[in-house]
């Protein structure tokens, strides 16, 4: 098995476990707390706050340890948090003080899981992938995104029906699979590290060290430097997309459960949306080949904004001649194409516009920005936690997506001087 395939298999295992538990955690909370979106929103809010505060520090911390030790720490913390949380979920169905204690511990573990996931993602996607591909991410990064989306597509179906089983079975299956995945991932990444000498050449970052920037591989970037970065507006647009309840994330899933959709159907609908996202990863290279990465992002973010307007219309229930479910699920599914084309476009633009010595720090700031808007999403649903008033956070989310599209349009104009090849705008 060559190095790329080992990386793909490792990423497949990581994504499957993470996406499965991500979907399962919100469903498990919503099945225990059935009368409000508050508990699911608090869980999401807490993880978003922690990510907002510490993502940049994680980006800088990655360079304190060697590449291999960084990965090992994030892997073991990540999988341990999933296993312990699964065991706690097994006992969450009780009542009184014990339930509150278990729920609090689950939130703490969720925060730990979030930070370890961010560290793992930055290390692999922004650092390891760049070294392994020798700077050519056009094939490697879309393939990794495709793997992630396949896991998003299939794992909800698996989890949706797994949660119909007795709690003991749920606990055993998730814990066993997570443990097995940990062992295999650990072995694969160790082999990759051994196979690619360049991964062992970077010295850990130390401010007092006498090594040069090129030798230590990365240096911290202050917030002012991040805001002045050439691709800042593009990263701001990506961040604003996280202020979105109109997806198959935890908040929307909890809302749909509260109005009567069963978990099996939601798993299938999320799978359909995942298929559309996978289609986006195939569309992006073809679109970028014709118009470039920057303009591929422009086309895709507006497609995302327009399709989510259909979802808002569905939530108003004003088009009685069109079944609400068609607009609701169709709009969310179609929006995944634009979302993942834009996600890939922005990632490639950021890699192209950022020096290698700054990439992990810039990526850390970007994760913080994304989690700021993710936090605002949960604030919305905590303030408006009644499912009967879900149209309010839904409308605000749609407005944020349109705002992100406008900001990215401004970025394209500033960066290129025009929006289309044949239509130039004066500055």
List the structure tokens of 139: 């094939």
- For tokens 């979106």, the residue is 37
Quick one: pLDDT at residue 216?
A: 45
Torsion from C-alpha of 19, 20, 25, 31, nearest 10 degrees? 130
pLDDT, tens digit (0-9, with 9 covering 90-100), for 198-251: 887 654 443 333 334 444 445 567 888 888 888 899 999 999 998 988 987 767
Q: How far is CA 264 from CA 33, 86, 91, 153, in A?
A: 19, 20, 23, 13
Quick one: pLDDT at residue 327?
A: 86
Rounded Cα distance, 423 and 203, in Å: 48
Its CATH class, for the domain covering 3-198+218-416, is mainly alpha
Q: ∠62-234-113 over CA atoms, to 5°?
A: 35
Main-chain phi, psi angles of 37, to 5 degrees: -90, 0
Q: How far is CA 56 from CA 102, 109, 257, 365, 367, in A?
A: 29, 20, 35, 5, 7
Quick one: pLDDT at residue 204?
A: 43
Quick one: pLDDT at residue 202?
A: 56
* DSSP per-residue string spanning 166-183: -HHHHHHHHHHHHHHHHH
Residues 6+ apart with CB under 8 A from 314: 324, 325, 326, 327, 328, 331
Across the strands, what pairs with 424?
418
Rounded Cα distance, 85 and 79, in Å: 10
Give domain limits for the chain: 3-198+218-416
Rounded Cα distance, 171 and 384, in Å: 32
pLDDT, tens digit (0-9, with 9 covering 90-100), for 316-348: 875 555 677 888 888 999 999 999 999 999 988
Rounded Cα distance, 55 and 110, in Å: 15
Rounded Cα distance, 377 and 242, in Å: 7
List the structure tokens of 335: 């929006």
Dihedral sign computed on CA atoms, order 46, 241, 368, 26? positive
Dihedral sign computed on CA atoms, order 269, 271, 275, 281? positive
Quick one: pLDDT at residue 319?
A: 56
Q: Are 218 and 206 in contact (CB under 8 A)?
A: no
Which residues in the chain show pLDDT less than 50?
Answer: 203-217, 423-427
List the structure tokens of 260: 């009567």
Instruction: Encode 376-403: b = buried (16+ Cβ within 10 Å), e = exposed.
Output: bbbbbbbebbebeebeebbebbbebbbe
Rounded Cα distance, 261 and 156, in Å: 14
Q: Are 361 and 218 in contact (CB under 8 A)?
A: yes
- For tokens 């990794």, the residue is 144
């Amino acid at each position: 098995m060559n190095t790329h395939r080992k990386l793909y298999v490792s990423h497949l295992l990581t994504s499957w476990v993470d996406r499965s538990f991500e979907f399962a955690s919100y469903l498990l909370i919503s099945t225990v707390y059935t009368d409000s979106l508050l508990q699911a929103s608090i869980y999401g809010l807490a993880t978003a706050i922690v990510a907002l505060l510490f993502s940049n520090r994680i980006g800088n911390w990655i360079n304190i340890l060697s590449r291999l030790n960084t990965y090992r720490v994030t892997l073991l913390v990540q999988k341990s948090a999933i296993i312990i949380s699964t065991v706690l979920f097994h006992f969450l169905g009780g009542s009184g003080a014990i339930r509150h204690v278990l729920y609090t511990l689950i939130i703490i573990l969720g925060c730990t899981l979030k930070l370890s996931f961010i560290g793992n993602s930055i290390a692999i996607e922004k650092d390891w992938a760049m070294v392994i591909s020798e700077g050519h991410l056009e094939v490697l990064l879309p393939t990794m995104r495709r793997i992630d989306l396949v896991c998003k597509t299939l794992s909800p179906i698996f989890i949706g029906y797994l949660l119909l089983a007795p709690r003991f079975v749920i606990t055993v299956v998730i814990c066993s699979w997570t443990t097995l995945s940990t062992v295999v991932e650990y072995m694969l990444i160790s082999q990759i590290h051994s196979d690619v000498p360049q991964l062992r050449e970077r010295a850990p970052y130390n401010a007092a060290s006498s090594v040069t920037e090129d030798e230590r591989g990365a240096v911290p970037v202050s917030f002012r430097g991040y805001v002045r970065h050439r691709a800042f507006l593009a990263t701001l647009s990506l961040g604003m997309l996280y202020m979105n309840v109109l997806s198959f994330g935890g908040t929307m899933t909890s809302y749909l459960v509260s109005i009567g959709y069963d978990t099996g159907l939601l798993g299938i609908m999320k799978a359909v949306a995942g298929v559309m996202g996978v289609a986006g990863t195939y569309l992006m290279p073809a679109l970028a080949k014709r118009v470039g990465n920057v303009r591929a992002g422009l086309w895709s973010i507006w497609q995302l904004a327009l399709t989510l307007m259909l979802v808002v219309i569905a939530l108003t229930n004003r088009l009685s001649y069109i079944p609400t479910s068609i607009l609701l699920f169709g709009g969310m599914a179609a929006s995944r194409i634009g979302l993942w084309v834009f996600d890939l476009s922005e990632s490639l633009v950021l890699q192209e516009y950022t020096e290698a010595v700054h990439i992990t720090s810039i990526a850390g700031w970007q994760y913080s920005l994304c989690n700021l808007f993710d936090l605002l999403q949960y604030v919305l649903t905590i303030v408006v936690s009644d499912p009967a008033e879900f149209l309010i956070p839904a409308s605000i989310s749609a407005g944020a997506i349109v705002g992100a599209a406008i900001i990215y349009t401004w970025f394209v104009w500033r960066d290129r001087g025009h929006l289309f090849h044949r239509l130039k705008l004066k500055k």
